[in-house]
């Protein structure tokens, strides 16, 4: 049997782990008994309570605030190919239960028992993101396990995320197996896309808003639609496919916008569309000055609140963005307000819309609350895994109320 070193927790520091969480913070470790500096990033260790009772096995990085990630509650189960294969099979069974076609997030980190690992599936092509030293240590085993379970034609390692810098890992993008094209095909809600997996954002696509975009489609037939922070058109192209007569896309990335037209062509869209390259706030302001109005406005920005210390400034950005968006909604139109910031609670986003409604003398009605798709499952003990929200409002003139 493999013999591992031990980290011992301080008194009461095991309570969160016993409740189901998987993270260990550096200030929870009894460093007098088990100094963190003795470990190398990526090591696997046995976690013990202050009384010496084993809690399981974790990967460790002594240089980060989240220094440990519990991988098993048994001291006999290591993070290796066998464990990876087992958990990948469980993850795959959930996605196949939920979606008939092989386009989804196959692995969602902690929620699938694989902290630090994300895998998106585009038919027979997989895009993998590793964000922790522990997962980086078993990178080869991950590739082998994915080949065994999914049997893909190619695997791309898209290891260029910000978390890798925190973990002290190098960033790189490379083929781990097979040949991955610059653009890969995917299908979502019956709509076709090509996603730039090599140089696009994150894995090249955002499957998490899938169900919310499906709901949005129901409001778009015969309507004018505005897609703000559009990226490659995830919302707007689906609005077009649902019968929108005219769609305007706003994004700061000229490269991303270049893919919008191609994605519209893929779906044989014959309506009007407008690509606005530039700062979203400035673009919305110019549309307001031009007295443009849209039946459906989608506001789906990047995370304005990356860390807790960003909450005040981030909430200000959400307030300003949604205020501009609300001013562009036609009478009786729909505002979709999205957020991928875990630190922005749904109730706070709703309050931001309420505040904007009063300031602009609008009458808003919340008609739908959306969250992340089933391929981004929420771990009930890890609130950090529940991050996405999409609130749909119908917007009227003040109506004297």
CA angle 383–386–392, rounded 5-degree value: 140
**Distance between CA atoms of residues 351 and 349, nearest Å:** 5
For the stretch 369-384, pLDDT in tens is 999 999 999 999 999 9
68 three-class SS: strand
CB 68 within 8 A of CB 62: no
CB 366 within 8 A of CB 351: no
For the stretch 268-292, pLDDT in tens is 999 999 999 999 999 999 999 999 9
| Dihedral, 3, 62, 86, 371 alpha carbons, nearest 10 | 160
Using CB atoms within 10 Å of the CB of residue 107, give its burial: 0 to 12 exposed, 13 to 18 middle, 19+ buried: buried
The domains located in the chain, with CATH, are 6-72 (2.30.130.10), 81-180 (3.30.750.80), 184-397 (3.40.50.150)
For the stretch 313-327, pLDDT in tens is 999 999 999 999 999
Q: Which residues contact 264 (CB under 8 A, 6 or more apart)?
A: 233, 237, 240, 273
What are the tokens at 123?
């038919």
Q: Which pLDDT score is estimated for 397?
A: 83
What are the tokens at 303?
């995370």
Q: Which pLDDT score is estimated for 294?
A: 98
Q: What is the pTM of this model?
A: 0.95
CB 45 within 8 A of CB 70: no
CB 225 within 8 A of CB 296: yes
**Distance between CA atoms of residues 190 and 115, nearest Å:** 31
All residue ranges of the chain with pLDDT < 70 are: 1-2, 400-401
Q: Which pLDDT score is estimated for 400?
A: 65
Instruction: Match 């692995």 to its residue by tokens.
Output: 107
Task: Return the biggest CA–CA distance within the chain.
Answer: 74
**Distance between CA atoms of residues 227 and 126, nearest Å:** 28
Axis crossing angle, helix 234-241 with helix 254-266, rounded to the nearest 10: 20
388 three-class SS: coil
């Amino acid at each position: 049997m493999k013999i591992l070193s031990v980290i011992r927790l301080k008194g009461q520091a095991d309570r969160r782990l016993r409740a189901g969480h998987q993270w260990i913070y550096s200030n929870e470790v009894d460093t007098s008994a088990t100094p963190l500096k003795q470990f190398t990033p990526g090591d696997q260790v046995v976690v013990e309570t202050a009384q010496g009772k084993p809690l399981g096995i974790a990967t460790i990085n002594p240089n980060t605030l989240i220094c440990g990630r519990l991988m098993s509650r048994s001291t006999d189960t290591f993070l290796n190919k066998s464990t990876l294969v087992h958990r990948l099979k469980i993850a795959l069974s959930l996605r196949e239960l939920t979606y008939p076609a092989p386009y989804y997030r196959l692995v969602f980190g902690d929620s699938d028992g694989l902290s630090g690992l994300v895998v998106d599936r585009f038919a027979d092509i997989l895009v993998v993101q590793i964000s922790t030293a522990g997962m980086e240590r078993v990178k080869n085993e991950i590739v082998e396990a994915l080949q065994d379970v999914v049997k893909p034609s190619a695997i791309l390692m898209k290891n260029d995320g910000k978390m890798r810098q925190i973990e002290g890992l190098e960033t790189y993008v490379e083929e781990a197996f097979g040949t991955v094209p610059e653009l890969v095909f995917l299908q979502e809600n019956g709509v076709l896309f090509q996603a730039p997996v090599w140089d696009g954002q994150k894995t090249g696509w955002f499957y998490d808003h899938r169900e919310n975009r499906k709901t949005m489609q129901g409001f778009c037939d015969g309507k004018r639609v505005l897609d703000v922070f559009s990226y490659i058109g995830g919302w707007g192209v689906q609005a077009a496919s649902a019968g929108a007569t005219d769609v305007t896309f706003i994004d700061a990335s000229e490269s991303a916008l270049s893919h919008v037209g191609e994605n519209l062509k893929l779906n044989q869209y014959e309506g009007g569309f407008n690509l606005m390259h530039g700062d979203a706030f400035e673009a919305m302001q110019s549309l307001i000055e031009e007295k443009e109005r849209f039946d459906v406005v989608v506001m789906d920005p990047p995370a304005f609140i990356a860390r807790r210390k960003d909450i005040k400034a981030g909430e200000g950005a959400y307030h300003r963005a949604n205020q501009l968006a609300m001013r562009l909604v036609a009478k009786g139109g729909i505002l979709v307000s999205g957020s991928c910031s875990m630190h922005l609670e749904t109730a706070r986003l709703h309050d931001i819309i309420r505040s904007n409604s009063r300031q602009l003398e609008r009458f808003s009605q919340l008609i739908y609350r959306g969250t992340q798709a089933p391929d981004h499952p929420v771990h009930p003990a890890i609130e950090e895994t529940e991050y996405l929200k999409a609130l749909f409002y119908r917007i009227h003139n003040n109506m004297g109320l």
